[in-house]
Structure 1
């Protein structure tokens, strides 16, 4: 049997993105896998892949590159079908989807693939979402059940506007993923009657696979000896295209199931509730004590009124080896762009003292006009560390 030929598939954001639906349908039907990419960027040549490609390979999708060079996860048609079916089952049934994300990233791509699976046509709006554009898009949806997928930054913008909140409340579910959602943003949406579903997943698991701390049907979650999460089940990728060593490092078959070894620190309680603390390589080592940046960020957003966005990283500290530094955005009237003076940092530490251990309190705070991101809303900690330098 001839090896399937992977072809590049430029996928535009906005309504033009719907033009690729027939090609995606053919890929799912076994008529040749595709590599989605941003049409404004010339893609790198596909890596050489020794050995046979999976027979049902449908899509190779780029990872976010949060641990270095982006890789191409090999997703089979069966894995994508299992992911779509489990998602619709969890949400209450198949429905019509709103695409407000870049379609070449896995979260946006999955909106199109779930639509194909459900036999519905998605409504598309530009990723630079505005409340008015959201109102128009939701009004154009005519499905019996209506869903959307957003990143936290988009949700944060919508909850600041009554028009955006009202439009979101008309949907049967709003998946939010790609990065951690600030608790105050999530609570504000829920208080307004928006059914948000906080998701966890990655390209290697066909996107979100844990919803509100509960694994989708068919997925298993366990904790490795090093405290990181491992995800197993039918939605797991075959591995990385042209990367046999990384595939062997991160993917394993156990009792007939494929497992993906993540670098995310987390836990699974006796009831099966999954909690994610952050990436193992993001942990800050302050005086021998580990600090999870995500917990510092959530505390800052919840308890420092002027802070509207935050990225925590480790910076060199003479006594403790590493100290906690915060790169933040602020509301109008808050501290201006630049380093926060020592007195201001002391005030922020006092606001956080009741919510964080002493070793997790920030030593340095700097205000920026925009936080650096990777992909659709994921914090770029390397870039933040360079700014905090």
Structure 2
């Protein structure tokens, strides 16, 4: 196992990945300060056969686990991505390289025979994005990058050089968190070509682009609305956890933690399996309430959680980011119309931003404890 501590430079990671793709030691990319996560990967013990990359993550549960990916899975994902986007090209790495989305930008540039530019690990701004993107945008051929919705939102908010740079990319993959309809519309109106992606470490990054699976990837919906995925991009297990591997991989299919449906060949994610809120005996999807709130004028973002409640069991609560005047009664009416009376939040909090974890995902536990000041 070759440990690579990633920061402002990706040269060592690029070299390590090149060796791993050709059968060399497995790569474990780590962010500075993640020593405990590194130790949980037991670097002194033998690596599972066929492993080229280990993505160490604590996920939403806080339990450390390492996702094992083969060279074949990494290559299959990168090759299918290039085919979907318009061919191999030049890449800007705009997300941390210890997460699968960042790693795959490096892998794609390797397979394309190009050298990716790197956005410095500082607070993201449109100006910094434009500066980092400059060498990519000067290159001939397709120009790509990948980012999280929060980054795109900041670019659209700031305008100026960052927005001009974003418009110049042939495609910007948006992943790690859901892309709201409002954000899609803002990007289209601004002339920014985005490609919302769905995937995870276990699928070697995004494997469904704008609702359509990449070539070689199959998606089906289980009887409990669980999204199931198969194809050459899949993980072959978890580091030193055969129990988790057996639970997640069944008959060649990866059992995701997401609910979804397929409509006219396109996958729509409905929310997490565990995002259901039981309020007064009625099960409510937090994601459905978030979509209803996000469609309201003046709402930038929303996170819906269930809070422990003596009367209801759980009370629906919404933390909402707004960018204009919003009336709570209007929000209640929108949720009632979209998801029913039981789904109407009993508590609202208006905030400047939502807490994030990892590469742009909303930290729901922090919303519960930090915004609503409770443990559940």
For the Cα contact (< 8 Å) 1:201–1:208, is it kept in 2? yes
Looking at structure 2, the residues matched to 308 and 64 of structure 1 have their Cα atoms a distance apart, in angstroms, of 28
Match of 1:144?
Answer: 141
- Between the aligned partners of 2:40 and 2:207, the Cα distance in structure 1 is 27
- Matched with 1:302 is 295
Distance, in Å, in 1 between the alignment partners of 2:13 and 2:59 is 25
Structure 1 residue 161 corresponds to structure 2 residue 158: yes
Instruction: Structure 1: give runs of 5+ residues left out of the alignment.
Output: 1-5, 336-343
Paired position in structure 1 for 2:259: 265
| Structure 1 match to 2:28 | 35
The 5 A counterparts of 1:139-288 are: 139-141=134-136, 142-163=139-160, 164-252=162-250, 254=251, 258-269=252-263, 271-288=264-281
Give matches, 1:108-127, under 5 Å.
Answer: 108-127=102-121
Q: Distance in 2 between matches of 1:185 and 1:347?
A: 20
1:328-379 Cα shifts (integer Å, max 9, x gaps): 3333x769xxxxxxxx644531354433321111110123343222201111
**Counterpart in 2 of 1:329?**
321
Q: Compute the displacement of 1:48 (Å).
A: 5.5
Q: After superposition, what is the alpha-carbon deviation per residue over 1:168-191, rounded to whole angstroms, capped at 9, x for unaligned? A: 111110000101122211111012
Distance in 2 (CA, whole Å) between partners of 1:147 and 1:53 is: 33
Q: Measure how far apart 1:320 and its partner are.
A: 3.4
Cα distance, 1:47–1:147 mapped onto 2, change above 3 Å: closer
2:81: which partner in 1?
Answer: 87
Shift of 1:135: 2.0
Out of 131, 141, 152, the position equivalent to 2:126 is: 131
Residue number in structure 2 paired with 1:339: none
Specify whether residues 157 and 215 from structure 1 end up closer, same or farther in structure 2 by C-alpha distance, changes over 3 A only. Answer: same
Contact 1:313–1:325 (Cα < 8 Å) also in 2: yes
Give the CA deviation at 1:138: 2.7
Q: Report the number of matched residues.
A: 367
Q: Is the 8 A contact 2:26 2:47 kept in 1?
A: no
Shift of 1:314: 0.8
Task: Deviation per CA, 1:168-217: give whole Å up to 9, x if none.
Answer: 11111000010112221111101222111000000000011000000000
CA RMSD of aligned residues (A): 2.2
Structure 2: give runs of 5+ residues left out of the alignment.
none
Deviation of 1:289 after TM superposition, in Å, equals 2.8
CA distance in 2, matches of 1:53, 1:232: 24
- CA deviations 1:102-157 (Å, max 9, x no partner) are 11011111111111111111111135321122222332111410001000000111
- Quote how far apart the aligned CAs of 1:265 are: 0.7
Aligned to 2:307: 315
CA separation in 2, counterparts of 1:99 and 1:356?
Answer: 39
Q: 1:275 to 1:63 in 2, by over 3 A?
A: farther
Deviation at 1:318, TM superposition (A): 4.2
In structure 2, distance between residues paired with 1:217 and 1:351: 38
| Deviates further, 202-211 or 182-191 | 182-191
Question: Is structure 2 residue 70 aligned with structure 1 residue 76?
Answer: yes
Q: Deviations over 1:290-345 (max 9, x none)?
A: 2222222232232151x3332110113444322210123333x769xxxxxxxx64
Q: CA deviation at 1:70?
A: 3.2
Q: Who is 2:347 aligned against?
A: 364
- Does the 8 Å CA contact 1:35/1:60 hold for their aligned counterparts? yes
CA contact (8 A) 2:225 2:261 kept: yes
Structure 1 residues 91 and 279: alpha-carbon distance in aligned structure 2, compared to 1, 3 A threshold: same
Question: Contact 1:30–1:58 (CA<8 Å) still a contact in 2?
Answer: yes
Relative to 1, partners in 2 of residues 1:143 and 1:103: Cα closer, same or farther, differing over 3 Å?
Answer: farther
Query: Are the aligned partners of 1:131 and 1:161 in contact in 2 as well (CA < 8 Å)?
Result: yes
- Distance in 2, Cα, partners of 1:250 & 1:216: 21
Give TM-score scaled by structure 2 length.
Answer: 0.91
Q: Is the 8 A contact 1:56 1:78 kept in 2?
A: no
C-alpha contact (below 8 Å) 2:2/2:16 kept by paired residues? no
